Amino acid sequence: MDIHVSNINKSFDQHPVIKDVTFTIPSGEICCLLGPSGSGKTTLIRLMIGAITAEEGTIHYGDVQIPNLSVLKNVGLMPQNEALYDDLSGEANLYFFGGLYDIGKRDLKERIEEVLAIVDLTEHRKKLVKNFSGGMKKRLSLAAAILHSPKILFLDEPTVGIDPVLRRSIWEQFRMIKNSGTTIIVSTHVMDEVTECDQAALIYNGRLIDYNTVPHLLEKTENGRVEELFLMASTQAKGGEDS
Amino acid sequence: MMHLAKRVIRQTINDKRSLMMILVAPLLILTLVYLLLGDSDYVPTVGIEKEALPDPLITALEEQDVKLKNLTSDEVKEAKSYLNDHENVDAILSFSQDEKMEITLYEPSTKGANAASEIQEAMTSLNPSAGIEMAYVYGDQDQSTFDSLGYVFLALFSFFLVFIISGMALVRERSGGTLERLLMTPIKRSEVILGYTIGYGVFAIVQAILIVLYSIYVLQLSSAGNIGWILLTMVLLAGTAVLFGATISVFASSELQVVQMIPFTIIPQVFFSGLIPLDLIPYGLGNLSYIMPIYYGAAAIKGVMVYGDGFLEIWPYILGLFIFAFVLFLINTQALKKFRKL
C-alpha cells in the first residue's frame, strides 16, 4: 500500500505549519522525515495517520482516502512520548492495546509472547511500567505499536534519549519489521539514522525541501556527510524565501 | 469497550491511593461527620444567685441537664464581665428590676442555645400551660443534625470522590499521550467514553453499597424508604460524576488544574445540594440548583430516606440525572474529536 500525500496544507491558529507538501512513500520501505525540532514532522505524521485533517490536499493509502476508521487496524503508531499506562504491568499494557484490535484471545497471547521477545522484555513482563527504565518504556511502546502486525508503522522520534547500544538494537528491529513487508515512516533529527532508511524527506519550516532515496540525496552533498543534507535544507529554505 | 472498562478497573486496583480514596475515604469522612454533627452529651453550666431566685425554680433547674453554679449578687450584676472571665460558665440567669427573667450568654453558639433551652424547659415544668408541644410530619424533635442532613453527605461523597479520580485519570491520559494512542486503534469515540463510565461505574457501585450499609447499619442513619432506591441514585450520580470529571479534564492540562477548578466545579454544588433549604436562598438563586447534578441526587436520596418515597415519587430526579449524564456524554464524544476526527 503506497502512501500518497498530495498538496497538503495545515495551519494552527492561522499559523501555517505544513505548506504544500507532496510526496509518495512506496510500500515496504523505510522513509525518514528529517528536520529540526518544530519543523512540522509530528504534525505531518498526525496528518498522515488521520488524527487531524488538512485544510487543503489529500492523503491516500493506495486507493483509500484518509481519515478512515477501518484502515486504522493496519496502522501502528509509536508516539514521541511513551504513552503507556504506568499503573499496569508491561504485559497488561499489551493485552489492553491488543484487545482494542479484536485479536482473538489465543492469537493475542501468542503475539504478545512474540513481541515481548522482539523487544527483549520477556523477563520484565509482570513489572509495573512505572518501575521501568526509560529504555524499557521505549521498547514496550514499540511493542504496543507493532502488536497487531500493522502494514504501515509510524515512529515519531523513536530513539530520542536512547543510548547508542539500545539505538542500534531498536534499528535492527525496524529492519526486521520492514523485511516482514511493513512500510515504516520514522521522524528523526539524528543524522546517522538517515543512512538506515531507503527514502528521506527533508522538512524545514513546514516545507518539503527535498525527497529522494538516501544514496541520491548523499550524492548531492559535497563530502557525502549526512549533516550536509541538514545544512542544505536550511540554506535552501532561506534562499527560497528570499526569491 | 469492555477492554477499556477492564483496564480502568485493573489500573485503579493497582493504584492503591485511588482505591483508598474511593473505598475508605468516604467511610472515614462519614464517621467524622457523624461524630461532629451527632448527638452531643454536653451539659451546660448556668450561673445563678440561689438566694435571689424562688425555690421551685431552682428545684426545676436541678432536674434539668444543667450544672448550677452559685454566684454572689455582685457577680450576677456584672454578668457580662463574669462570663468574660469564666469560660466554663455558659449562661447567667437572673431577675431584672422589673421582675423579668434575664439570661446572659457568652456568644450566640450552640453551647449557649443549649443552656437557654434547658432553662426554658425548667420554666415550662413550673407553668405547664406555657409549654409548646411540637410535632413533625417527618422525623422528630430529638433528631441530631446528622440524622436530618445525612442524605446530603451520601450524595456529596458519591459525586465528589469519583469526580476527582476520573477527572485526574483522564487528564493523565490526555497529557500522557495514551488517549492519542488509544484513538489510533479502530475503537469508536463513544466506546471510549462508555468504557470509562462502565469501568469507574463498577467502583461507584461498590462505593455506594459500602457507604449506604455503613451509614445505615453502623452509624444508625435511618431510612424511611427502600435503600435499593438510594443505591440506584448514588450509582447514577457517580456515573454522572465520571462524565463530569471527563468533561472538566478537557479544560485542564494537568492533575493540579483539576484540583484548582474544584472551587468552580464542586463547592457551589455543595451549597445547592440541600444543605441549605433552597427557599431560604435569596434573590431566587435557589433556582441555580436545577443545573447542579448533586441537587438531583441529594433530592432523590432525601425523598427515599426522609419521606419514604419510592420510584413513583423520585423518578423526575432520576430522569434529571439521566439527562445530565447524556448531555455530558455527548460533550465528551465531541471533545475527543481533537484527537481523531472520525
For residues B145 and A51, which has the higher predicted lDDT (pLDDT)? A51
Percent of chain B clearing pLDDT 70 (strictly above): 98
- Quote the minimal CA–CA distance from A96 to chain B in Å: 6
Q: Do A85 and B7 touch (CB under 8 A)?
A: yes
Whether B185 has its CB under 8 Å from any CB of chain A: the answer is: yes
Closest A-chain CA to B179 = A83
C-alpha cell at B328: 455530558
SS3 sequence of A113-136? HHHHHHCCCHHHCCCEHHHCCHHH
Q: Look at strands A183-188 and A30-34 and give their pairing.
A: parallel
- Quote the minimal CA–CA distance from A46 to chain B in Å: 9
Neighbours of A30 (CB within 10 A): 24
Range with lowest mean pLDDT among A206-215, A234-243, B24-33, B286-295:
A234-243
State the ipTM, two decimals. 0.84
Choose among B295, B159, B327: nearest CA to B236: B159
What span, in angstroms and rounded, lies between the C-alpha atoms of A119 and B221?
Answer: 57
Which residues 7-36 of chain B have a CB within 8 Å of chain A?
7, 10-12, 14-15
Q: How far is CA A228 from CA A132, A186, A191, A223, B25, in A?
A: 37, 20, 10, 8, 61
- Quote the minimal CA–CA distance from B8 to chain A in Å: 10
Span A166-173, average pLDDT: 84
Q: Which helix or strand (DSSP H or E) is residue B307 part of?
A: helix B293-307
Is residue A243 classed as helix, strand or coil in its secondary structure? coil
Mutation pick from B17, B165, B196, B342 vs chain A, by most beta carbons of A within 10 Å, is B342
Q: For B230-254, what is each residue's pLDDT tens digit?
A: 999 999 999 999 999 999 988 888 8
Would you kindly state where each structural domain of chain A is located, as residue ranges? 3-242
Neighbours of B176 (CB within 10 A): 17
Q: Do B180 and A101 touch (CB under 8 A)?
A: no
Span B213-224, average pLDDT: 86
For residues A243 and A193, which has the higher predicted lDDT (pLDDT)? A193
Q: Do B184 and A77 touch (CB under 8 A)?
A: yes
Span A62-70, average pLDDT: 85
Span A70-75, average pLDDT: 87
Range with lowest mean pLDDT among A55-59, A195-199, B69-73, B135-139:
B135-139
Predicted pLDDT at A236:
67
Whether A160 has its CB under 8 Å from any CB of chain B: the answer is: no
Predicted pLDDT at A242:
43
For residue B130, pLDDT beyond 80: no
Span B2-16, average pLDDT: 89
Whether B271 has its CB under 8 Å from any CB of chain A: the answer is: no
Whether A179 has its CB under 8 Å from any CB of chain B: the answer is: no
Neighbours of B253 (CB within 10 A): 12
Candidates B15, B180, B186; nearest CB to A72? B186
Predicted pLDDT at B176:
86
Predicted pLDDT at A93:
92
Candidates A51, A53, A82; nearest CB to B184? A51
Neighbours of A69 (CB within 10 A): 13
Span B253-272, average pLDDT: 87
What span, in angstroms and rounded, lies between the C-alpha atoms of B188 and B1?
Answer: 9
User: Which of A124-128, B41-45, B94-98 tops mean pLDDT?
Assistant: A124-128
Whether A72 has its CB under 8 Å from any CB of chain B: the answer is: yes
What is the phi/psi pair of residue A18, to 5°?
-125, 125
What span, in angstroms and rounded, lies between the C-alpha atoms of B38 and A225?
Answer: 80
For residue B85, pLDDT beyond 80: yes
- Quote the minimal CA–CA distance from A158 to chain B in Å: 14
Q: What CATH superfamily classification does B45-130 receive? A: Periplasmic binding protein-like II (3.40.190.10)
Residue B301 in contact with residue B154, Cβ under 8 Å?
yes
Candidates B14, B176, B187; nearest CB to A81? B176
What span, in angstroms and rounded, lies between the C-alpha atoms of B4 and B191?
Answer: 9
For residues A179 and A241, which has the higher predicted lDDT (pLDDT)? A179
Is residue B240 classed as helix, strand or coil in its secondary structure? helix
Predicted pLDDT at B64:
82
- Quote the minimal CA–CA distance from A131 to chain B in Å: 13
Please give the distance of CA B31 from its chain centroid, rounded to a whole number: 12
Span B90-112, average pLDDT: 81
Q: Do B180 and A99 touch (CB under 8 A)?
A: no
Helix ranges (H only) for chain A are 41-49, 90-99, 105-118, 134-146, 164-179, 214-220, 226-242
DSSP at B265: H
- Quote the minimal CA–CA distance from A59 to chain B in Å: 15
Predicted pLDDT at A92:
92
Q: For A77-93, what is each residue's pLDDT tens digit?
A: 998 888 899 989 999 99
Choose among B199, B209, B197, B194: nearest CA to B157: B209
Q: Do B340 and A51 touch (CB under 8 A)?
A: yes
Q: For A179-202, what is each residue's pLDDT tens digit?
A: 989 999 999 877 778 888 898 888
Span B290-307, average pLDDT: 89
Taking contacts as CB-CB distances below 8 angstroms, the residues of chain A near B186 are 69-70, 72-73, 100-102
Q: In which band, very low, low, confident or very high, does the pLDDT at B69 lie, cut at 50, 70 and 90?
A: confident
Predicted pLDDT at A154:
93
Q: Which residues pair with A56 in a beta bridge?
A: A9
What span, in angstroms and rounded, lies between the C-alpha atoms of B164 and A243?
Answer: 56
What is the phi/psi pair of residue B90, to 5°?
-90, -35
Predicted pLDDT at B61:
83
Range with lowest mean pLDDT among B68-72, B135-139, B210-214:
B135-139
Q: In which band, very low, low, confident or very high, does the pLDDT at A140 lie, cut at 50, 70 and 90?
A: very high
Q: In which band, very low, low, confident or very high, does the pLDDT at A243 lie, cut at 50, 70 and 90?
A: very low
Q: What CATH superfamily classification does A3-242 receive? A: P-loop containing nucleotide triphosphate hydrolases (3.40.50.300)
Q: For B19-28, what is each residue's pLDDT tens digit?
A: 888 889 999 9
Q: In which band, very low, low, confident or very high, does the pLDDT at A233 lie, cut at 50, 70 and 90?
A: low
Neighbours of B86 (CB within 10 A): 16
Please, where in chain B does CATH 3.40.190.10 lie? 45-130
